[in-house]
A and B are shown apart, each in its own frame.
Chain A
Amino acid sequence: MTLSPLHRRAFLAGSAAGLSLAFAGRTAAQARTPENKLIVIIARGAMDGLSVTVPYADPNYAALRGGLAVALPGSADGALALSDGFGLHPALSTLHALHGRGQMRFAPAVALPVRVRSHFDAQDVLENGGEALRRQDDGWLNRAIVAAGGQRLKGLSIGAQTPLILRGDAPVSGWAPGGRVREDDRIAGLLQDLYVEDPLLGQSLARGLATEERAALDGDGGRVGRNDAQALGQAVARLMTGTEGANVVALSLDGWDTHAGQKAQLQTRLTGLDRLIAGLETGLGDDWRRTVVVVATEFGRTARANGTGGTDHGTASSLILAGGAVRAGGLIGDWPGLADNRLFEGRDLAPTLDVRAVFKGVLRDHLGLDRAQLDTRVFPDSAAEAQTIDGLV
């Protein structure tokens, strides 16, 4: 059936109205049951999946990665063994423990439906959920709240601004833990690079940030301390508990663009990610069993290490699901392998799964969205390309 855009829109609106009526009844019936909870963590800057869910058993992994390869399980700083020849980065002990309890799974090679290597464009696509570039009007997580009736799910963004993924018609709240720039924030380092020929600005900013740091150490016991990802997780969890607590949360972690010095940077970033999840788990307490945490990034990084101890912009990366509501199971999607002829464009981990397929599986089975809504409203035109995955939760 081919419809003009106008007809098509009218058709979609009509079907959506019908669906939300159907939902109204169900919501009322379920009013006393606490809602499930979904936390989407966006790792901005392109997280290196090959260092997160480590394919140590792949015969090409160690050679391609060289000094960046995570050591075999059992050796010093070795990967934390999972199954299927994969291990987790050694900084991810919380996620490893969750895996042991059947509360963590991962997709080893997901990607967006479009091949772009611009962070900006790719983050738009990841958050908007469509296939067109530079659609910045709304995000799929907000449309999911709308599709669920607009009232049932309460959205919350963590950070000074609402990220695109949660922008849209459904009102959402926001919270930021201080939000101040710190001395060792990535932006501070990048600015010092810009200021090499401007000593006034360079020295002034360095001194100012150092002072802020001392001031922050001195007082303010109640606020989330610097680099205290676990406390951040607990603070977010507090905002999610109780009858007015949020159900749908979006949170960004910056600093994954590891073109140089990747090993040390990832150690820091992944430790932060792991502690954040630990904080969410302990903070959510009994609600943890109703929770799914999704960790996704805009694209992966090159399979080979580059000349500066880092990796460049690639294609597929891994996606992690964690939480008490996650159903135990193996890999989500296939492993494409790292043989030369399997690499995308001869350089990147090849995608085996459209990332939207995972999002849709979680939204349907965890938040109760209808498949038709997912295929048309939340992820328009995704029915064929990104078929909802069963059995994730």
Chain B
Amino acid sequence: MAASAFEAAVAVTRLGLGARPGEIDRVAADPRGWALGQIRAEGAPQPSGAAVSTAERMEAFLAYQASGTGRREAAAPGGAPDPTAEAARQARQAARRAITEDTARGFLDRVRLGLETDQGFAERWALFWANALTVSAAKFTAGAFVDTYEREAIRPHVFGRFEDLVLAAEQHPAMLLYLDQARSAGPDSRAGARRRLGLNENLAREMLELHTVGADGGYDQADVTELARALTGWSIPRQQDRQRADGGGFVFRPEIHEPGVRTVMGRTYAQTGRRQGEAILRDLARHPATAKRLSRRIAAHFVADDPPPALVARLEAAWTGSQGDLAEVARALIEAPETWTPQAAKIKTPYEFVVSAGRALDEGPRRPALLRQALIAMGQPPFAPPSPEGWPDTAADWAGPDALVKRLNWARTTAGAAVVTDVNAVALSALGRRMGERTRSAVARAESRPEALTLLLMSPEFQRR
């Protein structure tokens, strides 16, 4: 029972989003079973709230884009203020603001799910895959779809085959816009030749380098270009042809698709239009280098920056043996002894820190503006990772001097506002047997409740997982 109580604390904090009051006790009967039970074919739980679908968001996005056209003609040549142009500019700004506010609500819905869920592992697993296949609101056009991307492209597929997950991700408007695929056209395609359009290799390159086989996966520039040619035509709807889009907001445009047979990493792919790029992507997803690379990334995210090779090998074997069935990979992670090492080597990301603090204090998301500010200060602005690589994932990235000061300031503010009677009980329910004597006694001896809670939130056991 003692071993199980400790493992329950590890399960909920390392594999989950931190313990809500009583959660560690509830899990103690079967910590592995708790996590295994969250592996469900339908994917990870969805945030509740009035979520907008990608199709609905696309309407707003296209309307926003349309509001910009004609702006230049409207501007009077003499430079005199043109009321029509000014009204158009304001309408465009309002449309953009409405979209931003809508995605911000989507973020809050996700935070609320994080605070309330009893499926912390499934949530962490979903967040991992959203980050492995990053899109970012750092670019507004992609930002317009970041929340629907997570809900529709990521969550339903995180316990299915990786190739289905990655295909859903690459064909989502968020990704097509983020990595400039939507405008990439084959120079020899019908429209390309006529309008002198050209290739954009961005998505093709990141597909290889970041989403599948990795930089040392054995491809070269010719493979990137070939893949980029195959992907031409993958796009999003325009205002006038939006009925062409499938439910996820994807449109295949044959008129800009580069004709011809393609060769990528030694395999040739017949001229099949939309299916050509999909076939290449599926092969990349099944490539051993992909299994190897992502297995390591999973282990590094959940267990240690420099993960135990035995753990990576287990995940890789599960991946390969199941043709990339992520449910099997998740099972392997949960069942691996290395996952349960007592040593908490990982530093929580700011998002994990803030959400786990809310869970420990049994709070709902208070004051969204403050939450946003806090995450920005700690280096993880909502939905806006800095590059297609996604959020960094090592202790050095998150526990830098300024970031820790920001965590401390936030912890103190949060501790001061928390309504808690028994701080010792809060500490125990947050960390369970993972709490060391030093932290236990520091919390017990603190001179005030806010001080006690600040110490708890900033303790090594709470900062790490």
- Chain B residues numbered 427-451 whose CB sits less than 8 Å from any CB in chain A: 438-439, 442, 445-451
Q: How far is the CA of A54 from the CA of B95 in the complex (A)?
A: 69
B421 touching A201, Cβ below 8 Å: no
Please tell me the number of chain A residues within 8 Å of chain B, measured between CB atoms.
40
| 9-residue interface stretch from B7-15, B265-273, B296-304, B406-414 | B406-414
A208 touching B401, Cβ below 8 Å: yes
Does B405 count as interface, using CB distance less than 8 angstroms?
A: yes
Chain B residues with CB under 8 Å of A331's CB are none
Q: How far is the CA of A161 from the CA of B414 in the complex (A)?
A: 9
Does B320 count as interface, using CB distance less than 8 angstroms?
A: no
Chain B residues with CB under 8 Å of A186's CB are 447, 451
Q: How far is the CA of A208 from the CA of B399 in the complex (A)?
A: 10
Given contacts A190-B451, A194-B442, whether A179 and B413 have CB atoms under 8 Å apart is: yes
Q: How far is the CA of A159 from the CA of B448 in the complex (A)?
A: 14
Q: How far is the CA of A161 from the CA of B448 in the complex (A)?
A: 14
Interface of B is mostly: helix
- Chain A residues numbered 184-216 whose CB sits less than 8 Å from any CB in chain B: 186-188, 190-191, 193-198, 200-201, 204-209, 211-212
Does B463 count as interface, using CB distance less than 8 angstroms?
A: yes
Does A160 count as interface, using CB distance less than 8 angstroms?
A: yes
| 9-residue interface stretch from B17-25, B143-151, B454-462 | B454-462
Residue from A159, A181, A194 in contact with B455 in the complex, judged by beta carbons closer than 8 Å: A194
Chain B residues with CB under 8 Å of A204's CB are 399-401, 403-404
Q: How far is the CA of A221 from the CA of B447 in the complex (A)?
A: 32
A208 touching B438, Cβ below 8 Å: no
Q: Which residue of A lies closest to B423 (CB)?
A: A120
A255 touching B447, Cβ below 8 Å: yes
Does A105 count as interface, using CB distance less than 8 angstroms?
A: no
A134 touching B405, Cβ below 8 Å: no
- Chain A residues numbered 164-197 whose CB sits less than 8 Å from any CB in chain B: 179-181, 186-188, 190-191, 193-197
B416 touching A120, Cβ below 8 Å: no
- Chain A residues numbered 34-80 whose CB sits less than 8 Å from any CB in chain B: 44-46
B401 touching A194, Cβ below 8 Å: no
Q: Top 5 A-B pairs ranked by shortest CB distance?
A: A208-B401, A45-B447, A257-B447, A161-B416, A208-B405
- Interface residues, chain B, with chain A CB atoms under 8 Å away: 347, 395, 399-405, 408-409, 412-413, 416-417, 419, 421-423, 438-439, 442, 445-452, 454-455, 458-460, 463-464
- Interface residues, chain A, with chain B CB atoms under 8 Å away: 44-46, 119-120, 123, 134, 136, 159-161, 179-181, 186-188, 190-191, 193-198, 200-201, 204-209, 211-212, 254-257, 259
Please name 11 further chain A to chain B contacts, defined as beta carbons within 8 Å, in addition to the given A44-B448, A160-B413, A197-B438, sorted by A numbering: A120-B448, A160-B412, A181-B408, A186-B447, A190-B451, A194-B458, A201-B463, A205-B404, A208-B404, A209-B401, A257-B447
User: Could you jot down 22 A-B contacts, CB within 8 Å?
Assistant: A46-B447, A119-B448, A120-B452, A160-B413, A161-B413, A179-B409, A181-B412, A186-B447, A187-B455, A194-B460, A195-B460, A196-B438, A197-B460, A200-B347, A201-B463, A204-B400, A204-B404, A205-B405, A206-B401, A209-B401, A254-B447, A259-B445
